[in-house]
């Protein structure tokens, strides 16, 4: 939110402030009351056996926050959810990362966690699709699978006993991502859902919302059975594969800008909201390069305030 | 004769003007040391701090950052991490805290080199070490970089307070916010939050870094001449000021937090 540095004119500023104020009043009152800073007491009503979770500590029998954020309660568990801290992985999360190093039998990935994630060669599907022991030759050919700076999609497999994070990519849907844009947003803006891979058919675009706040917008890739691929087919299609139609590129840029805009405004990123914003920009004739301008920011904020207001009105 | 006097008026020699300024400063110093209720050069009374301005988030590239301005002293602190320790080293259960304090070339009246201040870096590390929960991020490092834009006295206490704000902004687990205040002893007076002039005149200095909610002192530095009774008073004065400063820090943290939670 505070990274917002826009050349607003007077009316735009007033409108933006009004919209933000509207949003603030719509937010449940409990949300603002639950905000804590370091060393604030968390009231627990002296209930017995409260479980102290992440970001809390015990001081003279009182529960005290050690982080800035919002207090969350799940039954007896009390923890602090931070808003600006780094991504905290959970097993099964789908993440997008960038390869920063190739080490023996493993790749190291930057995923916005406090440590680098490790993707072992043995937890990868080999390009030929055969299940077998990884040999020294495979190890030498690791660069043919992922190189440094490649963007990779994978799943969190688990933590080793020393706290390092391991990933796996044992499925066709995981792997190298090409021809698209990688956006980084604060991790808390992406909520854990059933679905993180989205194929937007109307645009022919793939959208991956990584739980770590890395978002991939790229050209749609058809997942094929590897056995079906013949050598000559591969050669023929190679030329077509390197080409992305200009229409698709436009769509990619528009969706990416929509995601950038929403994250700058601090709205939780969902597919519906991203598509909605992109559609709104089309219908109000905003060019792709004007989407990040002041006017569209204000429009989006106002639209969201109105949408939430309507939702709340319906509930009542 | 009259022509000579006029010439002296127009071209008042630098040495003379300098000596006048020196005299005025000497007078101020004497008052500060002897009078109990003489206003200081910037109009404060002896136990008044300078107005504090603090803000989070000046550096967007960092995980957390803070800016502090106390009178003429201006400081930016950026916090990076926790991130993988770059230096290949043995496995350690606890995290590492790296502190570095540097001055800009134009921070002081005399143009300097802008090098890292090793002494302050070490003291900043000592002050924060007790507050940061290092065991919560094993194998990783948190880097704290402080840059003094302008030095106007009490630099280190301001760096420490600003650094703890930046750490909280970065979402690093801490037992409490650390705030720090220094006092100077001049003659029979104890003055709080000294400017660089007052620091230069002081007989003795005391700096306290304090965690107000836990009522624990993380660092205490005492230099120069002091008497017993004065030290106790001075420490209490510092702790009181630290608690008040902590309130300002908290307000700063609450403010953007409520915005971002929308």
Rounded to the nearest 10 degrees, the angle between the axes of helix B228-260 and helix B155-169 is 30
Tell me which chain B residue has its CA closest to the CA of residue A308: B262
Read off the pLDDT of residues A14-63 as tens digits, 9 standing for 90 and up. Answer: 888 888 888 877 776 666 667 888 888 888 776 677 888 888 888 888 88
CB crowding B169-184: b at 16 or more within 10 Å, else e: bbbbbbbbbbbbbbbb
pLDDT score of A221: 82
Please tell me the distance in Å from B171's CA to the nearest CA on chain A.
Answer: 5
Tokens in use for A284? Answer: 């109000």
Beta-bridge mates of residue A70? A35, A81
- At residue B261, the pLDDT reads 34
What average pLDDT does the segment A230-250 reach? 67
Domain boundaries, position A314? 1-29+178-316
How many residues are present in chain B? 262
Q: What is the pLDDT of residue B254?
A: 81
Please choose, from the candidates A307, A280, A260, A301, the residue with its C-alpha nearest in 3D space to the C-alpha of residue A15: A301
Cβ contact A35–B258 (<8 Å): yes
Is A56 buried (19+), middle (13-18) or exposed (0-12) by CB count in 10 A? Answer: buried
Question: What pLDDT was estimated at residue A257?
Answer: 92
Is the model's pLDDT at A284 over the cut of 80? Answer: yes
The yes-or-no verdict on residue A226 having pLDDT over 70 is no
What is the C-alpha to C-alpha distance for residues A55 and B171, in angstroms, rounded to an integer? 9
Q: What is the Cα–Cα distance from B198 to B191, expressed in whole angstroms?
A: 9
Higher pLDDT, A82 or A1: A82
Q: Is the pLDDT of residue A12 over 60?
A: yes
What the block records as the tokens of B220 is: 């205490």
For residue B257, what pLDDT band results from cuts at 50, 70 and 90?
A: very low
Q: What is the mean pLDDT of residues B234-259?
A: 83
Domain chopping of chain B, boundaries: 40-87+94-256
Q: Over the stretch A166-207, which tens digit does the pLDDT of each residue have?
A: 999 988 888 889 889 999 998 888 988 888 999 988 888 999
**For residues B245-257, average pLDDT:** 81
Domain edge (last residue) among A177, A204, A229: A177
Mean pLDDT of chain B: 85
A64 to chain B: closest CA residue = B175
Query: Token pair 């967007």 is at which residue?
Result: B60
More confident residue, B105 or B112: B105
A141 and A75 in one domain? no
Average pLDDT over chain A reads 84
Out of A177, A196, A225, pick the residue that ends a domain. A177
The set of residues, in sequence order, having a beta carbon less than 8 Å from that of A65 and lying 6+ positions away, is: A36, A37, A38, A39, A40, A41, A42, A55, A56, A71, A80
pLDDT at res. B14:
60
Contact B212, B179 (CB under 8 A): yes
Is residue B232 within 8 A of residue B221, CB to CB? The reply is: no
Which CATH number covers residue A38? Answer: 2.40.50.100
Give me B55's structure tokens. Answer: 């803000």
Task: Indicate whether A284 and A194 sit together in one domain.
Answer: yes
A225 vs A93, which has greater pLDDT? A93
Q: How confident is the model at residue A125 (pLDDT cuts 50, 70, 90)?
A: confident
Under CATH, which architecture does the B40-87+94-256 domain have? 2-Layer Sandwich (3.30)
Residue B12, pLDDT > 60, answer no
Among A39, A63, A163, A273, the residue to mutate for chain B (most B Cβ within 10 A): A39
Number of domains comprising chain A? 3
Task: In whole angstroms, give the CA distance from residue B169 to residue A68.
Answer: 7
Number of alpha helices (DSSP H) and beta strands (DSSP E) in chain B: 6, 9
Would the pLDDT of A157 be above 90?
A: yes
B157 min Cα distance to partner chain A (Å): 19
Measured distance CA(A80)–CA(B166) in Å, rounded? 18
Return the residue in A114, A165, A213 with the most chain B beta carbons within 10 A, the one to mutate for interface testing.
A114
The predicted model gives A151-162 an average pLDDT of 89
Q: Do A168 and A216 have their domain in common?
A: no
The ipTM, to two decimals, is 0.72
Looking at residue B134, what DSSP letter applies? Answer: G
More confident of the two residues A313 and A217: A217
Query: What number is the average pLDDT over the span B124-139?
Result: 90
Please give the pLDDT value at position A288: 87
> Which of A47, A69, A85 is the last residue in one of the domains?
A85
Q: Is B170 on the interface with A (CB under 8 A)?
A: yes
pLDDT at residue A316 is higher than 80: no
């Amino acid at each position: 939110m505070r990274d917002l540095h826009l050349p607003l004119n007077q009316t735009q500023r007033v409108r933006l402030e009004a919209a933000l104020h509207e949003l603030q009043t719509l937010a449940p009152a409990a949300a603002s009351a639950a905000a804590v800073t370091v060393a604030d007491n968390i009231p627990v009503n002296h209930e017995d056996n409260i479980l102290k979770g992440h970001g809390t500590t015990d001081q003279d029998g009182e529960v005290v926050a050690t982080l800035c954020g919002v207090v969350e309660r799940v039954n007896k568990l009390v923890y602090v959810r931070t808003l600006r801290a780094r991504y905290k992985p959970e097993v099964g999360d789908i993440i997008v990362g960038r390869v920063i190093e190739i080490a023996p039998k493993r790749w190291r990935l930057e995923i916005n966690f406090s440590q680098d994630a490790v993707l072992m060669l043995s937890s990868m599907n080999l390009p030929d699709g055969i299940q077998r022991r990884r040999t020294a030759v495979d190890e030498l050919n690791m660069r043919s699978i992922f190189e440094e700076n490649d963007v990779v999609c994978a799943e969190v497999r688990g933590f080793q006993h020393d706290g390092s994070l391991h990933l796996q990519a044992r499925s066709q849907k995981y792997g190298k991502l090409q021809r698209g844009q990688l956006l980084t947003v604060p991790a808390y803006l992406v909520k854990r859902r059933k679905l993180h891979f989205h194929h937007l058919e109307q645009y022919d675009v793939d959208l991956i919302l990584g739980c770590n706040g890395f978002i991939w917008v790229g050209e749609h890739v058809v997942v094929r059975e590897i056995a079906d691929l013949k050598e000559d087919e591969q050669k023929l299609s190679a030329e077509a594969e390197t080409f992305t139609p200009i229409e698709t590129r436009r769509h990619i840029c528009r969706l990416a800008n929509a995601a950038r805009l929403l994250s700058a405004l601090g709205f939780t990123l969902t597919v519906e909201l991203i598509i909605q914003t992109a559609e709104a920009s089309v219908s109000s004739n905003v060019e792709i390069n004007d989407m990040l301008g002041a006017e569209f920011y204000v429009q989006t904020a106002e639209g969201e305030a109105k949408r939430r207001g309507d939702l709340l009105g319906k509930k009542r | 004769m009259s022509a000579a006097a006029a010439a002296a008026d127009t071209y008042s020699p630098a040495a003379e003007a300098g000596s006048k300024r020196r005299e005025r400063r000497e007078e101020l110093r004497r008052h500060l040391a002897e009078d109990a209720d003489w206003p200081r050069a910037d109009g404060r009374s002896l136990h008044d701090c300078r107005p504090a301005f603090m803000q989070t988030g000046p550096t967007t590239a960092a995980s957390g950052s803070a800016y502090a301005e106390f009178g003429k002293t201006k400081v930016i602190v950026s916090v990076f991490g926790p991130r993988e320790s770059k230096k290949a080293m043995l496995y350690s259960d606890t995290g590492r805290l790296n502190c570095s304090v540097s001055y800009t070339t134009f921070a002081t009246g005399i143009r300097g080199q802008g090098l890292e201040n090793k002494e302050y870096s070490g003291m900043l590390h000592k002050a924060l070490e007790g507050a940061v929960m290092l065991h919560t991020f094993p194998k990783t490092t948190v880097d704290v970089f402080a840059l003094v834009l302008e030095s106007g006295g009490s630099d280190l206490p301001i760096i420490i307070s600003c650094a703890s704000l930046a750490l909280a902004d970065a979402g690093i687990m801490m037992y409490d916010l650390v705030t720090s205040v220094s006092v100077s002893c001049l003659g029979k007076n104890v003055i709080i939050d000294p400017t660089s002039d007052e620091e230069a005149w002081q007989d003795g200095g005391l700096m306290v870094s304090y965690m107000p909610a836990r009522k624990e002192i993380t660092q205490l530095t005492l230099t120069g001449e002091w008497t017993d009774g004065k030290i106790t008073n001075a420490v209490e004065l510092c702790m009181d000021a630290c608690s008040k400063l902590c309130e300002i820090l908290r307000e700063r943290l609450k403010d953007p937090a409520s915005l971002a939670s929308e």
